[in-house]
Homo-oligomer: A and B are copies of this chain.
Amino acid sequence: MEDLYPSRKNNQPEIMKRKDPVIHTDRSKDDQAPLSKEQLDSYERNGFLQIENFFSEDEVSELQKGIFELQDDSKDVTSDKVIREPQSDEIRSIFHVHNDDEYFKKVAYDQRILDIVNHLLGSDVYIHQSRINYKPGFTGKEFDWHSDFETWHVEDGMPRMRAVSLSIALSDNYTFNGPLMLIPGSQNYYVSCVGETPDDNYKESLKKQKLGVPDQESLRWLAEQGGGISVPTGKAGSITLFESNTMHGSNGNITPYSRNNLFMVYNSVENQLVKPFSAGKERPEFIAVREGAPKFSNS
């Protein structure tokens, strides 16, 4: 298959134009969408969309209970799916929860969410990756800027930009507790990064990403193009949808306030993984679903 988005193949970074639509259902069908025209415009222009109070207070309580019970149950678990802080033993992420946990499976296939992502991706979808992120107070470390798509393309063989990430805020997001930051408009450009990907890179990169991190000049250029940096804040229960190629990252968190979220990636069934485009070995199933991906449709 042709590599439309080459990266980690050259010694020089390069910025290319996006070759895929941002919204994969034709805009003439806006009236069939479970989002308003303004919401669709905003997603298409900025590469992300926040919806406040998407989940009710009761749902949020249940979700919070769910993530802490799972964290507690995983305390002594040794598994590649349980990622810990680089300098401590605190659990930073638990992967593949849409598959391993009956409760989170239900959340992942919530029909309200499926209706939205089906529309954005213009097809049936499946879950490419899921995880709970626990960003503890005081010691939460930064995540460097990256496009998820760059990694999914290079390391997992995702052919096109036809996936969407969903972050469900499970603690209040302030400006100061290391919230998600996005560069509006960055979904329209692909930053081809330098460097080669070693086998099993994911074991390090889930703690601290070193490859697929764009150069500073490209980042500055993207921020200037897109009008800076956006920081969606809001109460627990709000959701942020962001396009697979939207550049994002987060600062560390020295405040006492933790930042937790449930994160799921929906990919179009017409965009299933092929061989990785620049890395040898395929990453494990819990990071990049290949086998038996179930399809889920509009309601």
A119 to B164, CA, bound (A): 57
Residues from chain B with Cβ under 8 Å of A144 in the complex = 254
Closest-CB distance, A128 to chain B (whole angstroms): 25
Closest-CB distance, A235 to chain B (whole angstroms): 14
- Contact status A219-B252, CB under 8 Å: no
- Contact status B251-A176, CB under 8 Å: yes
A157 to B181, CA, bound (A): 42
A254 to B179, CA, bound (A): 12
Pick from B137, B175, B252, B256: contact of A231, CB below 8 A.
B175
- Contact status A216-B181, CB under 8 Å: no
Instruction: List residues 160-177 of chain A with CB under 8 A from any CB of chain B.
Output: 174-176
A251 to B231, CA, bound (A): 15
For the complex, count residues of A whose C-beta is within 8 A of B: 25
Q: Is A6 an interface residue (CB 8 A)?
A: no
- Contact status A254-B175, CB under 8 Å: no
Residues from chain B with Cβ under 8 Å of A93 in the complex = none
Residues from chain B with Cβ under 8 Å of A250 in the complex = 254
Residues from chain B with Cβ under 8 Å of A145 in the complex = 254
Pick from B229, B231, B254: contact of A142, CB below 8 A.
B254
Q: Is A178 an interface residue (CB 8 A)?
A: yes
Q: Is A249 an interface residue (CB 8 A)?
A: yes
Q: Is A17 an interface residue (CB 8 A)?
A: no
- Contact status A223-B256, CB under 8 Å: yes
Q: Is A68 an interface residue (CB 8 A)?
A: no
User: What residue of chain B has the Cβ atom nearest to residue A252's Cβ?
Assistant: B252
- Contact status A251-B249, CB under 8 Å: no
A218-251 vs B, Cβ < 8 Å mask (1 yes, 0 no): 0110010000010100000000000000000111
A256 to B137, CA, bound (A): 24
A138 to B223, CA, bound (A): 13
Q: Is A253 an interface residue (CB 8 A)?
A: yes
Further pairs besides A176-B229, A223-B256: 6, Cβ < 8 Å: A142-B252, A175-B175, A175-B231, A176-B181, A176-B231, A251-B252
A-B pairs with beta carbons under 8 Å apart, 17 shown: A137-B220, A142-B252, A142-B254, A144-B254, A175-B176, A175-B231, A176-B181, A176-B229, A176-B231, A181-B255, A216-B256, A223-B255, A223-B256, A229-B257, A250-B254, A251-B255, A252-B252
